[in-house]
Amino acid sequence: MALRYPCGMALRRLPAGNGALIQIVDAALADAVRRSGTWLECRPGCTQCCVGVFAINQLDALRLQHGLFALEKTDPERAARIRSRAQDSIERLAAQFPGNVTTGVLDTAVLDDGSEAEERFAEFANDEPCPVLDPATGLCELYEARPMTCRTFGPPTRAAGGLGVCELCFHGATDDQIASCEMVADPDDLESNLLARLEKKGLRGQTIVAFAVR
């Protein structure tokens, strides 16, 4: 039987293996946090990484939708506030959204590293708060269902430009000390396999959080 929101809309099931992926990433995060010690400033109420639009994949979006589905059962008022903030965000961003405002799917050009479109997207809506962020508490209301970018932000993680860290963290640490705290979130690239399975079911492209939880 298909899962359905209280409104009756169907919800796709998460692919088998999502739970294993989350366990691997969360274990890697816990280990990186232990090694980072006081260099890591991340704590409840710090919202530095919760402001500014960023791309999420379809697995992230589906995970958020399942989190919202569960919240609607236990606290429908909180869930409704998330949806309201998401819709308000979409209305603010629609005129300059670099993608399809009906589906929420981003143009592929904005995802090409080094492209002009990617650079424009990097500056797009930098002051827009995540709709899942509770403005009263500074906490994520779908924390257990948060996207992979959110799960790996803070500790040093490797990207095309090298190791990246939150600008609030690792003050006074040397390059070697930062490297010693590197987080390898998904060493076997399980996420890519799960995304390939979703693509076979018609879920393609990347979007933003607001469209995932509207």
Angle at CA 63, nearest 5°, toward 143 and 138?
20
Residue 195 within a domain: yes
CB 206 within 8 A of CB 56: yes
In a domain, 44, yes or no: yes
How wide is the angle at C-alpha 205 spanned by C-alphas 73 and 159, nearest 5°? 100
Report the predicted TM-score, pTM, of the whole model to 2 decimal places.
0.91
132/142 Cα distance (integer angstroms): 6
Band (3; pLDDT cuts 50, 70, 90) = low
pLDDT value, residue 9: 56
Domain membership of residue 97 as a residue range = 16-31+38-212
Q: Is 6 within the bounds of a domain?
A: no
- Assess if residue 11 is contained within a domain: no
Please report whether residue 5 resides in a domain.
Answer: no
Which alpha helices (DSSP H) does 104-186 contain, by range? 116-122, 148-152, 175-179
**Region 139-143 average pLDDT:** 97
Residue 2 maps to a domain: no
Q: Note the helical H segments in the chain.
A: 18-36, 58-74, 76-93, 116-122, 148-152, 175-179, 190-200, 209-212
The verdict on residue 9 lying in a domain is no
Residue pLDDT, tens place only, 87-132:
999 999 999 999 999 999 999 988 887 788 888 888 889 999 999 9
pLDDT of 107 reads 94
How many Cβ atoms from other residues are within 10 Å of residue 133's Cβ?
20
Which range among 108-112, 133-137, 146-150, 187-191 shows the weakest confidence by mean pLDDT?
Answer: 108-112
Return mean pLDDT, the chain. Answer: 92
Q: Is the pLDDT of residue 137 over 80?
A: yes
Per-residue pLDDT, 197: 96
Q: Please name which of 84, 103, 72, 88 lies closest in space to residue 4, comparing C-alpha atoms.
A: 72
Q: What is the mean pLDDT of residues 25-54?
A: 95
Return all residues near 102 (Cβ < 8 A) that are at least 6 apart: none
Does 166 reside within a domain?
A: yes
pLDDT of residue 162: 84
When divided into structural domains, the chain yields a total of: 1
Q: What is the pLDDT of residue 1?
A: 44
